[in-house]
Each structure stands twice: as C-alpha cells, then as structure tokens.
C-alpha cells in the first residue's frame, strides 16, 4: 500500500480525469502508475534483450585489428587507382 500526496492543481486534474473516465481516483492512479512503470521498464535495453545477452560470442581477440588493416589496404588501393 502506498500513499501519494498531490499538489492541489494536480489533484483537481486527476479527479476530473477520473470522473471523465468513469473511474475512481484510486483506479485512475493505479492505472497511470502501471502504464508509467511498464513504459519505463520497456525502455531498459537490458530487460528487452535479457533473452539474448551473452548468447553471441565475438570469436576472439585480434579481429578488429585485422579489419582495420584490411580497411587501410583498401584505402591505399583506391588511392593508387586515381
């Protein structure tokens, strides 16, 4: 159980919004809190990718250096063709 204090202007808006939906203030606030919590947690990459984190391995060290060297060779080759 939680207790929440709202400033008067927000309290009035919440009351009006709940009435417009035909719900109680408590139900309105529970729904709003649930939506916000779901949205916040959905934006965490670690939660969204939990089932695949750690399932892919890069294949060992040195590959990035090999790629860099290959890219350098490619650039050198293009320069000589001009």
Per-residue pLDDT of the chain (82 residues; tens, 9 = 90+): 889 999 999 999 999 999 999 999 999 999 999 999 988 887 777 766 777 777 777 666 666 667 778 888 888 888 887 6
Q: What is the pLDDT, as a whole number, of residue 14? A: 98
Q: What is the pLDDT, as a whole number, of residue 7? A: 97
Q: From CA 32, how far away is CA 21, in angstroms rounded?
A: 12
- How does DSSP classify residue 55? S
Domain extents in the chain: 1-48
């Amino acid at each position: 159980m939680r207790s929440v204090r709202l400033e008067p202007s927000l309290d009035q808006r919440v009351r009006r919004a709940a009435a417009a939906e035909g719900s109680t203030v408590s139900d309105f606030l529970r729904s709003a809190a649930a939506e916000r919590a779901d949205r916040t947690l959905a934006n965490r990459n670690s939660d969204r990718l939990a089932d695949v984190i750690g399932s892919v391995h890069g294949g060992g060290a040195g590959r990035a250096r090999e790629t860099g060297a290959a890219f350098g060779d490619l650039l050198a080759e293009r320069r000589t063709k001009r």
